[in-house]
Amino acid sequence: MRRQWTIPALLATSALTFAGCDWMPGKPTEADKPVIQTTITNFHVLWTTHCSGCHGADGRWGAARPLNDPMYLAIADQEYVTRVVTDGVGHTLMPPFGLPQGGPMTDEQIKIVVDGMWEHWSNPAVASNLKLPSISGDTGSVSRGKSVFGTYCGSCHGDQGNGGLAGSVVDPSYLALVSDQALRSAVICGRLDLGMPNFAGYAGGHKSSKRADLSPLTDRQISDVVAWLASHRVEFPGQPYPDTTTIEASADDDRSETMAQAE
C-alpha cells in the first residue's frame, strides 16, 4: 500500500523541480532563441551575417585567416571548404554552420557562400607556373621540420621560432588555439594581409627579400615544418602561472633604476 503513495509523491516532487528550473534567472526563453534566417540567398548578406565577424569584412583583416586570398582559393577546393563550413573545426573557434550540426545555415546557403567566395575573390592566374602543394597533408617529421624552419622562417620569426622581426609561432597559447591545418594553411598561403610570405616566398605580389634565394617549399617540407611547429604544443597552456615574486622584484629593480637615473 505504501508504495502506491510513494510513486505519485515522487512524480510530484520531480515535476516541481522541473517547473522550478524553468523560472531560474538567466534561463533563455523561447523568445530568446536565435532566429534562423533560412530565406536569405544573397552572398554578401550571408557573408556579413555569418563569416565577417572572424574572417573580416570582404574576407580580410579579420582575426581568422583571410579567405579572399586568391592563392588560398587556388589551392583549397570547394568540397573541402564546404565540409569545413558545414562541420566546423573541432577544438578551435571555427563553428559548424550546418543545420543538423546545430548551426544556422541551410545546405543551399552554405553553397551560396562557398560559390560566392570563388566568384568574387578567386584569380587562378596567381598560381600559374607554380607546382601547388595540396591543402591538407600527411604528418611530417619534426627533426626535418626544424631544419626547414631554420632555412625558411628563422630570418623573420627567430631561429627558435619565438619571435624576431615577426611574432612567436611557438607560443603555447597560440598553438592551443589553432589546428595543424590552420598552421599548414598559414605556411602555404602566408598572411596576405600581414606580410607573411606564401610557400613560394611571395608576399603582396613580390618575392620577399628573406626568401630571395630559396625555392618554393615542397609538400613534404610544408608537412615537416608544421610537425615542428605543432611539437611545441603543451598539455596545459598558460601554466605554470608566472612567478609573481620575481615579476614584482624585477619591477622594483626597474623602478629603482629609473629613480637612480632621475637623480
Whose Cβ is closer to ligand HEC: residue 25's or residue 90's?
A: 90
Reading phi first (left if > 0) and then psi (alpha if -120 to 50, else beta), residue 59 is in: left
Whose Cβ is closer to ligand HEC: residue 179's or residue 254's?
A: 179
**Closest distance to ligand HEC from the beta carbon of 93 (Å):** 4
- Residues in contact with ligand HEC by CB under 6 A are 50-51, 53-55, 64-65, 67, 76, 81, 84-85, 89, 92-95, 97, 113, 152-153, 155-157, 166-167, 169, 178-179, 181-183, 185-187, 191, 194-197, 208, 210-211, 225
**Closest distance to ligand HEC from the beta carbon of 91 (Å):** 8
Q: Please state, in angstroms and rounded to a whole number, the distance separating the CA atoms of residues 33 and 15.
A: 24
CB contact at 8 A, 109 and 40? yes
Q: State how far the alpha carbon of 245 is from the alpha carbons of 37, 252, 256, in Å.
A: 53, 11, 16
CB contact at 8 A, 55 and 62? yes
Whose Cβ is closer to ligand HEC: residue 185's or residue 223's?
A: 185
Q: Please state, in angstroms and rounded to a whole number, the distance separating the CA atoms of residues 247 and 256.
A: 14
Whose Cβ is closer to ligand HEC: residue 89's or residue 142's?
A: 89
The three three-digit cell numbers of residue 179, written as one number: 589546428
**Closest distance to ligand HEC from the beta carbon of 163 (Å):** 8
Whose Cβ is closer to ligand HEC: residue 19's or residue 167's?
A: 167
First to last CA, the chain: 93
**Closest distance to ligand HEC from the beta carbon of 20 (Å):** 34
